[in-house]
Amino acid sequence: MSTAAKLALLLLSGSCIATLAACGTARPAQAPPPSSVQSRIDGFKVNDDDYRKIGYKRDWTGYPFVSGGGRINTLHSFGDIVAVQESGSTVTVLDAQNGSVKWSNTVAGPLTRFVSVQRHQDILRGDCILAFSDSDIYFLNSATGNQITRQRIEKVVTTAPIMLNDAAVVATPNGEILAHSFSSGMKAWGLGTQTSISANPVFIQGQAGVVMQNGAVLFIDAASGTITSRARIFGGSETNPVVNGALMIVASTDQSLYGISLGGIEWRVRTSSPLVLQHAAHKNKVYVSTSDWGFSCFEGSSGNRLWSTAKVAGVPIGIRAGMLLIWDNGSIVRLDAARGDFIDRTPMPTVRAVTTDNFEDGNLFIISETGIVTRLNPRQ
């Protein structure tokens, strides 16, 4: 991780935005040599027959900048564009219509750790792509990729942000939850907890829901930083909480799945092992992999188990035509979403990750180990 330069913004006078912009562009980071397109194609073995088996067809294949020996770390679909960040700190934006590269920008050195890429309609700077490292926010023009400014975050952060109109709420390894103001470039509020935080905060009913590694759960007014509610579980979390209506769903290392509201713990499901694979919630259903029952579906409002299948242990991707898609150790598994019946398994050994732009009948994005992005459309 790079180290945050604390109080840097406080030493700037008057026109801090212009000063930061100049600092951000004076010494541009040098991108490491890219990997060749042909070598990336040669290492990507999935074909169109595999896509048809899971109910999709290929729309386009894109080639974002990936440094030699690097890989794609994050991908976010923003409607008309797709933002990709690779391990060498280069952000690439692809045209969502055809996958062509609109621009690439190497915003930092290859050792910089990034936590998120977001799109933001900034009140001062317009339509921006924000690349969040653990110590800085890089503001990039979404149309050109030019760096507009760079803002230093007061503390080193470990989580992706909750995005507000003019601020981002993030958490730090030493337990501070803070809101960074985009207009001022400084901390709007901060709340110290003295406990490490690694799970991303979630936005629920105007609150930032935060799970700490000691099992403390806080709901914080996102505008003011005031604690509005607390709860306590018996361990932290290796996954990120998700939202199901008025409940924050937490999979904990204390071997339990929780539904937590601003009023406290509404339900708890005990298992025999820590829950360490990312879960998802959709239309009052919670999908999670457990050691006791295999992959399982719970009612989101009550925690009642609706179905389970012992043949699968993975991460839910989405639902296509009534079939639940799960990423399971290099394969996409299909289950009947209503009953949990096993349908089939499609191995994809050269795929690094699969994501979607909408949990039900959305487009799929296949990310290869070699740094290729393929967008799949649902077959009609």
Name every residue whose Cβ is closer than 8 Å to that of residue 39 and which is 6 or more positions away in sequence.
Answer: 370
Same domain, 164 and 139: no
pLDDT at 377: 96
* Integer-rounded Cα radius of gyration of the chain: 21
Same domain, 213 and 96: no
Q: Which amino acid is at 257?
A: L
Residue 354 lies in a domain: no
Residue 353 lies in a domain: no
Nearest to 130 by CA among 153, 102, 156: 153
Same domain, 164 and 209: yes
Residue 215 lies in a domain: yes
Same domain, 142 and 168: no
Residue 65 lies in a domain: no
Residue 286 lies in a domain: no
Query: Domain ends where: 198, 214, 232?
Result: 232
Same domain, 11 and 97: yes
Same domain, 197 and 167: yes
Residue 292 lies in a domain: no
Query: Domain ends where: 125, 152, 179?
Result: 152
Same domain, 79 and 127: yes
Q: Write the CA distances from 377 to 51, 58, 60, 277, integer angstroms.
A: 9, 6, 9, 26
Same domain, 13 and 108: yes
Residue 12 lies in a domain: yes
Same domain, 140 and 178: no
Same domain, 23 and 145: yes
Query: Domain ends where: 89, 121, 152?
Result: 152
Residue reference for tokens 């936005």: 203
d(CA 195, CA 293): 32
pLDDT, one tens digit per residue, over 284-326 is 999 999 999 999 999 999 999 999 999 899 999 999 999 999 9
Same domain, 91 and 188: no
What does pTM read for this prediction? 0.89
- Per the structure, how many domains does the chain have? 2
Q: What is the CATH number of the domain that holds 110?
A: 2.40.10.480
Residues in the chain predicted with pLDDT less than 50, given as ranges, are 1-28
Q: Which domain holds residue 198?
A: 159-232
- Name the strand (E) or helix (H) holding 16: helix 16-26
Residue 290 lies in a domain: no
> What is the phi/psi pair of residue 226, to 5°?
-85, 135
pLDDT at 30: 59
Same domain, 171 and 109: no
